[in-house]
Amino acid sequence: MKGQWSIDRQQPDRRRRHWPLLRLPIVRTPGEKAAQVRENVVAGGLMSYGASLPDLARRAAGYVHKILQGTQPADLLVEQPTKFDLAVNLKTVKALGLTIPESFLLLADEVIE
């Protein structure tokens, strides 16, 4: 099992090809970057919920701005993400035979059909 896990972490595209065939929902693994979470849904994953990458980039720019103006990095507070994105793949929902309430779909930032 350990050997399979290390191969999967090194080859996420290989996993994405097989997930729709296995009819399993995708769960983010510890080694995946936040950007890959949305890619998983586009590739056939059921849904993803994670920090908004554009929002994280804006926050990083704020840190850079403060540092360039002379603030010591050690003096900056650590900030947690405050904006999160939800993506749902309706094709996978249908393939798994699930029903997602419309009220939930209305909350999604992206619905892939």
Q: Is the pTM of this model over 0.75?
A: no
The answer on pLDDT for 105 being more than 90 is yes
Residues 6-43: pLDDT tens digits?
444 455 555 555 555 555 555 555 555 655 567 778 88
3-state DSSP call for residue 110? Answer: strand
| H or E element that contains 51 | strand 47-51
